[in-house]
Structures are given as C-alpha cells and as structure tokens.
Amino acid sequence: MPPLIELRGIVKRFGAVTALKGVDFHIDHGEVVGLVGDNGAGKSTLAKIIVGYYKPDEGEIYYEGERIEIKSPAHARRLGIEIVYQDMALAPYMSVWRNLFLSREVVKRIGPIRILDKKRMREMARSFLAEIGVRRRDPDAPIGKLSGGERQSIAIARAVFFDAKLVVLDEPTSALSIKETERVLDLIREMSRRGIASILISHNIYHVYNVADRIVVLDHGRKVLDVEKDRVTPEDIIDVIAHRKTPQQVLGRG
C-alpha cells in the first residue's frame, strides 16, 4: 500500500530565502509523525504545502499513490487533509455549531436558495460536544467563551467528524494546561486508532515523543533525521535540534 501522502524533493523559496531545500516526507494511514526543528527550520512551510496554503517551487506530491497538485486549502480539505492551527482553527465570535460546520454547512434547498439547516446542525453539534467530553453542551455558545482545551478538542475532533484522513496540528498544545494537553494527545491517539494520520508540529519534544510513531527533524530547510520513535530518546532529538549531536551519532547508537 502506498503512503497516504508522499512529498519528494520539495523546494520552497520566498524571495532570496529558501525555506525548504529538497525535502522528502511521507506519512502512512493512521501514522503519527512528529515534525520538529528549531524556529525557521521549515516545519510550518512544509505543513502549509501539505494543506495547500503554499505551492512548492520544485518537487512532487503523491496522495495515496497518485501524483497530485494541492491547489488550495479547500482542495486539501476535499482530499481529506485538515489543519488545526494554534488559535487559528476556530472563529471566536461564532457559535460552536457555526464553527463546526463552517464552509461545510448542512443546507436545505428551496429552489436555488440554500438555507442553513440550523436545527440539524445544532443537534449534531450537541451530540458531538457530548462525545468529545466538552462539559458545556450549548451549541449556541460562542467559541471564544470556551476554554483553550475545549477549543482545541473541538478543532481536532471536527477533522474526525468530517472524515479526514490526515490532520496537521501546528503547535496544538502550546497554550494548554497539562490536563488539557493530555486530552489533546489522547485525541491524537484515538484518531490514529481510527486510521487517521496526524502530523504533529511542536516545540515541545516531550509532547511529540509521547504520541508520535516516527519523528522527523528539519534543520534550515533540510531533513536531517527521520526515525522511528523507539530508536531514539527525547533527549537525542533535542540534542540534534540544538546541534549538540549529529544525526549519525544518534542513529549509530540505536
């Protein structure tokens, strides 16, 4: 079976700066890959290429074995790729149900007019909140009134709700308490059990190590390490990122 998504030789330039210098990357169905590296390593750029935000200048993308071009975030979503940004996934002034169905509204048609089926969306939102363990069950509550952990849970679970195959999580735990973080990491594990792949971008190596099957380290636009988690320790990863150890030193010991 081909990987869910595979990127080969990805190059991305922004003016004089080359953010990605020929990166290969792949992820399988249900796999959890931690994407780590220092600031400016190219993690977010790579993620934004996967979710259709940027187009690579060079390189190829294969989705379930087929060569494709990801034209836009909307296109990525149709393919089953979702992104969950830190504080960027939900519109704070809009209600839970409006957020949940944003850009994928359930509608009734009256002639050419598409009318929101609010009753149905509210009902679905209510059971959805119950299932992900959010205590506040009011689908009309504005998202901004929910806790950070609840918001992040909703953002992640929304992807599952809409049958995503790959969820890209950009710093999903950076603003959360320890308990909320555990909850989010639980959600990632649950997604994996359901065959949904996750790319987890985080500065917190311990969070990544906690849930990832494999860890990819980027450094100044190049992939310097791509290793099954069991072969390394979190400290190894930190040492590679901080240039205290070479990738060869880390791998050689395994």
Partner 1 sequence: MAGAPTSFLSLKGPPVEGGVSELGVSRLSSVLAYREVGVLAAILGFLAAFAAVNPSMLSAEAITRVLNLASDRGIVAVGVAFLMIGGEFDLSVGSVYGLSALTFIELVNHGVDPLLAVALVLAIAAAIGVGNAALTLYGGIPSFIATLGTMWIIRAFIYVYTGGLSRFAEADLGAASLFYRELAGGLATSALIFAAVAAVFHFILTSTPFGNHLQAVGGAPGVARALGISITRVKTLAFIASSVLAAVGGLVYAARFKSVEAVTGVELPLEVIAASVIGGCSLQGGVGTILGAALGALLVSEISVGLVLAGVPGYWYIGFIGALLVVAGVINQRLGWRGE
Which residue ranges make up the site for partner 1 (CB under 8 A)? 51, 53, 72-78, 80, 83, 85, 88-94, 98, 101-107, 113-116, 118, 124, 127-128, 131-138, 140-142, 144-150, 153, 157, 160-163, 177, 179-180, 183, 186-187, 190, 194
Q: C-beta of 86: minimal distance to partner 1 in Å?
A: 11
Q: What is d(CA 30, CA 49) in angstroms, rounded to the nearest whole number?
A: 20
Q: How far apart are CA 136 and CA 45, in angstroms?
A: 35
* Residue nearer to partner 1 on the CB measure, 211 or 240: 211
Q: What is the closest distance, in whole angstroms, from the C-beta atom of residue 170 to partner 1 in the complex?
A: 10
- Backbone torsions φ then ψ of 117, nearest 5 degrees: -90, 80
Q: DSSP letter string over 73-139? A: HHHHHHHTEEEEETTTSS-TTSBHHHHHTTTS--EEEETTEEEE-HHHHHHHHHHHHHHTT-S---T
CB of 106 to partner 1, least distance (A): 6
Give how far Cα 34 sits from Cα of 93, 110, 169, Å: 31, 46, 10
116 versus 238: smaller Cβ distance to partner 1:
116
Taking the complex as a whole, the smallest distance from the CB of residue 122 to partner 1 amounts, in Å, to 13
Q: Is the distance from CB of 197 to CB of 64 less than 8 angstroms?
A: no
CB nearer partner 1, residue 55 or residue 88: 88
Q: Minimum distance from CB of 23 to partner 1 (Å)?
A: 22
Nearer to partner 1, 143 or 240 (CB): 143
Q: Smaller CB distance to partner 1: residue 16 or 178? A: 178
Name the nearest CA neighbour of 199 among 45, 14, 22, 13.
45
